[in-house]
Amino acid sequence: MNKIQLANLMRTYSGQRNFSAKKEGYEFDLFCDSWSLGYQHTLHLEWMHELIIEESTFIDLRLSLSHAAKFSASTSMITIGSRLKFILNHLEINTFEALWLTIDDNTKKGIKNTLHTLCSTYPSKILQPLYHFVKNISLKDKNNTNTILDSKKGAYSEIEQENIMEALRLETSRCLTDKISSTVDFNRLCTIITSQLMTAVTRRPTQLRQIKWCDILPVGEKFINHKMSNHNWMPLTQHLFSDVEQLHLRTFKGKDGEYRYFVESRTHRLEPNFSQLILLYFRNYQKILTRQLILKGIELNTDEIKELMMRLPLLPETKLFKSNFLSKEELFKSVSVTSEAYHQSSANIIMRMKSLFRKLNVVSDRHPIEVLKLSNNRWRHTLLTQAALQGFTPAQISNITGVNIESISPYLDLKFKERVKIDEIYAGNHIIERFDSISVRELQNKSGFRVRNEFDEEIGYHLDPTNCNSCESKLGAPMACYPCDNFRPLETANHQQYLNKAERKLEINSRSGHPATLRKLKKIITYINATIIVCNNRATFKLEDDNDCIK
């Protein structure tokens, strides 16, 4: 439909033109090609002018979308619009039926859901025949167990999980070592916080983006109504902690795309180390923001800064620091405890995390050539699988990710032999790579790199001793060093003594130890065993080479 045809149609059309989106405060015109359905959520329909269709069909399709937008979340509508574009290339029922035979089950489900949404809110003459064809077709659910155990899309292996956490720890340490003095530095820290937060509370990006600073309090303080300002809220830097220095966090379910609407009944208690990191992040956030405001001629007193920070997102868009506010009044009108202003989008959160992990170059034990990335879905699979393995109740498992018990049934059905375990072959490969990747002689010349036992005997070397400063396992060194990529065992050292110690500890802890402790000890034993095997093999090869030389 060209511009002249559209102009004629707009002039002769006598039906309803203005519609409201599900999100309060957002309206759109039926004939507009860009429908604003929510904060930073726009449905683009320019492509409809490229279709060779009659005016009645054009109106019918637009009305179908308009009525669906009253009841569907803005993110869902964008997906529906994309699927409708695909469907409209096969509007004839015979063509549509032929298409149905060629597409996979996931695409079929998407098309079926789209037609159901559009046809249940408006009696579309064009789409009803297609919907009648698909509505009674039963599509079996995909085998969720296979997805959970998939080596690229499912749960991380224990090695992959620990490598991700170690990479995040080191990147956090590097970031905090540098002075955070610009928005670029702050964005780097913000992305690290986002990744750490996702692993800490196991919530989706669409939930993380909704968090404001008023959703974080010291443990012991209660949250008030999230739709009202908390006048007793104090900036986090002013809190005096008790013996347990911890914060707790309020999150929202994010159902149907609603923003800060379904608050979760339980808050998330953050570990002391992460609580301290959040406090440091808060101070840098406030410092950089107030400095940028001063440059724009806006100076805030203590109470105003407190009120502003409470309204702001935990994970802000960069434009928050670049916006040219003309006055304090304009600044405070732009944000509130219920507004979406300056909150990162889910897509941006995902994009930043992907970018971060491309730089971190995390190693996978199952796919060593590919770069391992932190994925929300894979992290959820991992924690739920581990919880099932440890014998948690269905209620406890469902609380980990905040879903209903029916949603976690695939994890309860996993067979024991299918669950994620350490593979000794991978451990052996890792040890071989460590011997071959760096010159031990080179490390021997640097005294600070040496690892000694209680008898002052050298057993190995650290690639970078500074990486060990914040390691939570350093008190268990050197036995706990063996699985670490920063440790290089000495080929001639006595590693058997630590294998004996680890096996004794495992025997003792097996009686009443925590499953997490047992898993760590089993992993240590696996790696020490692999180290001993590799050392013996290398010694044998060298002996054979020496004998050949003598002959």
Q: pLDDT tens digits, residue range 123-141?
A: 989 899 999 998 888 876 5
Averaged pLDDT score across all residues of the chain:
82
CA distance 506 to 500: 10
CA dihedral of residues 93, 94, 98, 99 (deg, nearest 10) = -30
pLDDT at 419: 44
Short-list 345, 322, 239, 324, CA closest to 282: 239
Element (H, E) at 461: strand 458-462
Q: What is the pLDDT of residues 19-41, one digit of tens each?
A: 999 888 899 999 999 999 888 88
> The whole model's pTM is what?
0.69
Counting residues of the chain whose pLDDT is more than 90, the rounded percentage is 35
Which of 33-42, 56-65, 410-419, 449-458 bottoms out in mean pLDDT, i.e. has the lowest?
A: 410-419
Write the DSSP string, 279-301.
Answer: HHHHHHHHHHHHHHHHHTT----
Alpha helices (runs of H) in 483-514, residue ranges in sequence order: 496-512
pLDDT of residue 262: 85
Is the model more confident about 141 or about 527? 527
Max Cα-Cα span within the chain? 103
- The C-alpha torsion from 339 through 344 and 347 to 351, rounded to 10°, is 180
245 compared with 415, residue with greater pLDDT: 245
Question: Is the pLDDT assigned to residue 105 strictly greater than 90?
Answer: no
pLDDT of 208 higher than 60: yes
| pLDDT confidence tier of residue 425, bands split at 50, 70 and 90 | very low
Q: Residue 96 above 50 pLDDT?
A: yes
pLDDT in tens, 438-477: 454 555 555 556 676 666 677 777 777 777 776 766 556 7
